[in-house]
């Protein structure tokens, strides 16, 4: 039971870190349309996520932005040696809401609420990789109060704590051969509710002149603490039931620190370009330790590496009614060869973005965005699967794509 549960918990932890297998950036309609750049951009209250220091440079006293996306993700798996084929189509609805208020000439306060890890992966029940994962669903909400201080017209700092609350559920088969008396594969369902964590974000923004901005933002490592989660076993044969009693578990799920630096340049009064570099410190995720209520302790290898994302975006405003945006980014995968599992079938990817804003009035606008995310095809495996004490490797060729349209509103006065 220890090995079977530990593998399940490892899947839970990894998916928590990758939003259901895909690390998709969807934290603002304007900035998503610009390749998800934003650490040196002051467009709206979305700056509360990308760089809280930018809130000090917003023109209006009150700023509000909100939006949501429909996330469509598709993964295909194939192993030609054994003629294995499978696919999964998944849907998510991440959202964001930001509000800022300039209390004084030098102090701006704000609140950000967003869902960077609200997605799911669902393979067909009892598929060829069912002993690793059948399905997983993650819900997580980030709540981030912020403060921004304008030191002078050229420099500002900002930041605040981040509180995370959410839940996760997962189902997997116990093995490739264990069934009940009716031939139904035995499986385990794991669920953890009320998973919480604390972190923080901090950044600064520097205006070289009225046309060029520099920005740096740091987001701390966040450890999701799953406590007293439930593990329930289903479709067990009579002889196996004493070996698999329902139990509980505790585990800490690390999400890495991130550092983002960037530059924005107003080439003309109508044309803006931005560049961001993001570095995620995934090297902290070497293994996962799981403590079970029956006293067993298990370690699960992950051995992730640091990963970087390179982003570029542009905005063109031909008049007071419209703004058009486009962008591109390259996102490195932290997963190393031999650690590639079907709950996170993720390789290096390129994101292509675009969108626009229509100003209904000078204070109220409607934003639209889209993202097409293409993952490099990869032939890889997870070499640390374990069944009844016998290690084995599960692998094949994975193809992934993600498409996400989004819509939002902005309001200021």
Q: In this structure, what are the phi and psi dihedrals at residue 106, rounded to the nearest 5 degrees?
A: -115, -10
Residue position matching structure tokens 């932290």: 334
Instruction: Kindly list the structural domains of the chain, giving each domain's residue range(s) and its CATH number in brackets, ordered by start.
Output: 2-412 (2.40.160.60)
pLDDT score at 245 = 86
Length of the chain: 413
Give the HSE-up count for residue 160: Cα atoms under 13 Å, Cβ half-sphere. Answer: 23
Residue position matching structure tokens 């051969």: 177
**Residue 88, class by beta-carbon neighbours within 10 Å (0-12 exposed, 13-18 middle, 19+ buried)?**
buried
Give CA–CA dist 413/108, Å, rounded: 14
Give CA–CA dist 81/93, Å, rounded: 37
pLDDT score at 376 = 83
pLDDT score at 293 = 80
Stretches where the chain sits below pLDDT 50 are: 1-22
Give CA–CA dist 401/101, Å, rounded: 39
Q: Which helix (H) or strand (E) holds 16?
A: helix 2-18
DSSP state of 153: S
Q: Which helix (H) or strand (E) holds 355?
A: strand 349-359
pLDDT digit string, tens, across residues 192-223: 888 899 999 999 999 999 899 999 999 999 88
pLDDT score at 224 = 81
Nearest to 321 by CA among 355, 270, 359: 359
pLDDT score at 163 = 96
pLDDT score at 12 = 42
């Amino acid at each position: 039971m220890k090995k079977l549960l530990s593998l399940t918990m490892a899947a839970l932890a990894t998916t928590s870190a990758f939003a259901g297998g895909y690390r998709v950036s969807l934290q603002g309609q304007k900035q998503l349309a610009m390749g998800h750049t934003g650490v040196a951009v002051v467009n709206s209250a979305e700056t509360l996520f990308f760089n809280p220091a930018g809130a000090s440079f917003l023109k209006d006293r009150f700023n509000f932005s909100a939006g949501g996306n429909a996330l469509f993700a598709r993964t295909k798996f194939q192993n030609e040696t054994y003629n294995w084929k499978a696919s999964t189509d998944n849907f998510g609805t991440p959202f964001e809401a930001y509000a800022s208020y300039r209390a004084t000439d030098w102090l701006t306060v704000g609140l950000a609420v967003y869902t960077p890890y609200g997605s799911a992966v669902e393979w067909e029940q009892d598929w060829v990789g069912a002993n690793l994962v059948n399905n997983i669903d993650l819900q997580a909400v980030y709540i981030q109060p912020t403060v921004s201080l304008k030191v002078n017209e050229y420099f500002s700092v900002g930041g605040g704590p981040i509180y995370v609350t959410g839940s996760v559920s997962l189902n997997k088969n116990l093995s490739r051969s264990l069934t009940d008396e009716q031939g139904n594969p035995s499986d385990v369902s794991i669920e953890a509710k009320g998973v919480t964590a604390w972190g923080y974000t901090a950044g600064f923004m520097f205006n070289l002149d009225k046309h060029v901005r520099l920005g740096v933002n740091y987001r701390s490592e966040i450890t999701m603490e799953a406590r007293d989660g439930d593990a329930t076993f289903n479709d067990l044969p009579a002889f196996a039931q004493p070996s698999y009693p329902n139990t509980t578990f505790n585990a800490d799920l690390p999400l890495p620190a991130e550092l983002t630096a960037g530059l924005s340049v107003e080439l003309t009064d109508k044309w803006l370009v931005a560049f961001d570099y993001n570095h995620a410190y995934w090297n902290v995720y070497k293994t996962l330790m799981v403590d079970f209520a029956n006293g067993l302790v298990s370690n699960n290898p992950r051995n992730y590496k640091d990963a970087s994302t390179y982003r570029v975006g542009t905005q063109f405003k031909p008049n007071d009614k419209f703004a058009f945006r486009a962008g591109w980014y390259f996102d490195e995968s932290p997963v190393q060869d031999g650690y590639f599992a079907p709950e996170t079938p993720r390789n290096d990817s390129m994101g292509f973005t675009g969108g626009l804003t229509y100003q209904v009035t000078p204070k109220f606008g409607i934003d639209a965005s889209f993202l097409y995310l293409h993952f490099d095809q990869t032939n890889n495996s997870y070499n640390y699967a374990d069944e009844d004490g016998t290690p084995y490797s599960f692998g094949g060729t994975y193809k992934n794509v993600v498409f996400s349209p989004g819509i939002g509103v902005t309001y200021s006065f």
